[in-house]
Amino acid sequence: MLRAFGITGLPVISSGDDIGAMIAGRVRAMGVHVETGDVVVVAQAIVSKSEGCVVDLSRVKPTEDARHYARITGKEPRLVQVVLDESKAVLGAYRGFILCETRHGFVCANAGVDQSNVGSGRVTTLPPDPDGSARRISESLESIFGHPVPVLICDSEGRPFRRGAIGVAVGVHGMDPVESMAGRRDLTGRELETTEVCVADMLCSSAALVMGEADEGIPAVVLRGFEPKGTGSSSDLLYERDVMKERIMGGEMLDHPDN
């Protein structure tokens, strides 16, 4: 059985707050405890705020590039400028979003720049080192609970071909985010075709169902019943650059007669 406990009662987070200690305190106060084998998922928004990754849009000067992408996407030029500042590369511009490669190497919409939960005219950016953020929270939890605690930093992201955002991991500490099924066999003894499973994103999606998106105020979730393995990092979530490039550039297109 998998169980997901939402951690409530955290105050509004400000730059410099030790959110690891704050989460641990609330976990204890709620009588939940963190057991060996539990995974703690923390919302990117509070991690970014605790690290001061907040941009006041009134102080941003949009470049000509930003105005160009603003016209295509229908987004505000200052917001687009922050997206460009957070990006290593722009991969495409569409109605409503820019497809970016972030400084960390994530390919996602708008480089993870988010207008939620931070007040009008301000946006959060992804933490510069989300694995480091996860590690620091993990260390706080370990110092209180006396055993290593895997931590995931969770963001919500759309996908190109399905409506609606899901929870995904942008920071990882103390577990493998992707588990290989290579060599494992199915019910009939056949070796498995789907050889990689993104357990980190599925854990973040489980947590996101508990967090909700709006005013519930549940920025952290303790997940119990999944046994994390290994000691990976968020870079394990990324394909090699040549694979990414092939996918972005389109592979071999369209000579099936039904097209």
159-218: which residues touch its own copies (CB under 8 A)? 159-168, 177-179, 181, 184-188, 190, 192-194, 196-199, 201-203, 205-206, 208-210, 213-215, 217
Nearer to its own copies, 58 or 259 (CB): 259
Shortest Å, Cβ 213 to its own copies: 5
Output the six-digit token pair for 63. 């470049």
SS3 category, 87? strand
Per CB under 8 A, 11 contacts its own copies: no
Nearer to its own copies, 56 or 186 (CB): 186
- Say how far residue 250 (Cα) sits from the centre of its chain: 25
- Beta bridge pairs of residue 215: none
Shortest Å, Cβ 87 to its own copies: 7
Nearer to its own copies, 103 or 148 (CB): 103
Per CB under 8 A, 153 contacts its own copies: no
Closest CA to 147 of 134, 138, 158: 138
For strands 151-159 and 39-43, give the pairing: parallel
Per CB under 8 A, 2 contacts its own copies: yes
180 Cβ partners below 8 Å, 6+ apart?
195, 196
CB 149 within 8 A of CB 142: yes
- Measured at the CA of 86, the angle between CA 161 and CA 124, to 5 degrees, comes to 85
Stretch of residues binding its own copies (CB under 8 A), selected from 3-11, 23-31, 135-143, 144-152: 3-11
Per CB under 8 A, 31 contacts its own copies: no
Per CB under 8 A, 124 contacts its own copies: no
